[in-house]
Amino acid sequence: MAALPAVQDYRALAHKRLARMARDYLEGGAEDLRTLGRNRKAYDALLFKPTVLTDVTSVDASVEVLGQPLAMPAVVGPTGLNGLYYPRAEEALATAAHRAGLPFVVSTASTSLLEDVRRASDGELWLQLYVQRDRGISQRMMERARAAGYSVLMLTVDTPVHGVRDHDIRNGFKMPLRITSRLMADVITHPRWCLRMLRQGGSPQLVNLARSAGTAVNLAAQAAAMSRQMDMSLDWQDIDWLRAHWPGRLLVKGILSVDDALKARATGVDGIVLSNHGGRQLESAPSPLELLPAVAEAAGSAMTVMMDGGIRRGSDIVKARALGAQAVLLGRAPLYGLAARGPRGVDEVLQILRRECETTLRLLGCPRAAELSPSVFQPAWKERLKAL
């Protein structure tokens, strides 16, 4: 079957193939989904100002971020419980990212071991870290990542507790899964998804967390480790503790204000990721894109600024880069490809985004992504963002 035309088509196919609980976990946001919707509205608010009669025979979507070349201004970002969508999900995402010339970020809540992901890919691998109350778990996670050649640590700071996610409550989605008549009906009506789960031995396991926590490989113990032990005392002074255990590049993910961006810069971290956790944590939070210009200006050249949230088109990547993000993190989009068509679906989604990015550069009359700036927008772009 030929590749589908757009990320949205992979999303639609993923919806058909995933059991409802898996689909809702992938797509859902916090409370009434206002933050989730705001992420997309921010992109829609920006209008381009193309320049014509410019030589765009060749275009270059590549950029350099943290000293690493990227084929386009994007990183395949961290997402948890990916085994809900396809067996050995992280290995598939990592190998597709490498083929696309992009780094891949493995989540603390991954369903594949750090070491297995490294064996599957020779590409750039980063580790996303949640810090548990027992900090020995995080220390062991960092040690394992260093030993496996991971180059960047991404500390997520916006999840001291889980946001209120009504869809998970309605579906009874929590770990370990409780067998109910509703769940059984959901599984039976999605035989393709059911067979995928059986191929990996049933429900996906948080094996990465279990390995570092010394926890038995069963979902009840892993779920307890993930929820009960999140360190709610973590503060800016703990950056020094992380530095003592991680000699490589360090990013802080979950920034949503200029003030916190400046605090991050003062600690000497290498960069930040503007993020509202894909609309899944705090309801009525701003979108990263609307904060990006002010944060990028405040950060200056002292640290790298990236962002995530709502990227569905190559033109979205171009908009973020033009407003000051060195790169975006791709979250749901690659997962749509994975859930829809397996590993080749991830390849196809990343190819679509790269192709759309290059097409947008050509139509803008800006042949190099590295040279993007707010000048590619209509003059009223600031007002349009403020009106969200």
- Within its chain, how far is the Cα of 73 from the centroid? 14
Please provide residue 151's backbone torsions phi and psi, each rounded to the nearest 5 degrees: -105, -20
Distance, CA of 328 to CA of 281 (rounded, Å): 19
Exactly one of 162, 167, 245, 277 is catalytic; name it. Answer: 277
Give the number of other CB atoms < 10 A from CB of residue 109: 18
Amino acid identity of residue 186, one-letter, is D
* Measured CA angle at 78 (ends 113, 301), to 5 deg: 125
CB 20 within 8 A of CB 369: no
End-to-end CA distance of the chain: 40
Note if 15 is an active site residue.
no
- Sequence-separated (6 or more) residues with CB below 8 Å from residue 55: 367
Q: How far is CA 281 from CA 49, 135, 157, 209, 215, in A?
A: 34, 23, 11, 21, 27
Distance, CA of 119 to CA of 228 (rounded, Å): 31
DSSP state of 29: -
With b meaning 16 or more CB within 10 Å and e meaning fewer, what string describes 307-320? bbbbbbbbbbbbbb
Q: How far is CA 32 from CA 143, 269, 284, 349, 366, in A?
A: 39, 34, 9, 28, 39
User: How many Cα atoms within 13 Å fall on the side-chain side of residue 113?
Assistant: 12
Distance, CA of 97 to CA of 76 (rounded, Å): 6
Residue keyed to tokens 């600031």: 382
DSSP 321-375: HHTT-SEEEE-HHHHHHHHHHTHHHHHHHHHHHHHHHHHHHHHHT--BGGG--GG
Q: Which residues are catalytic?
A: 277
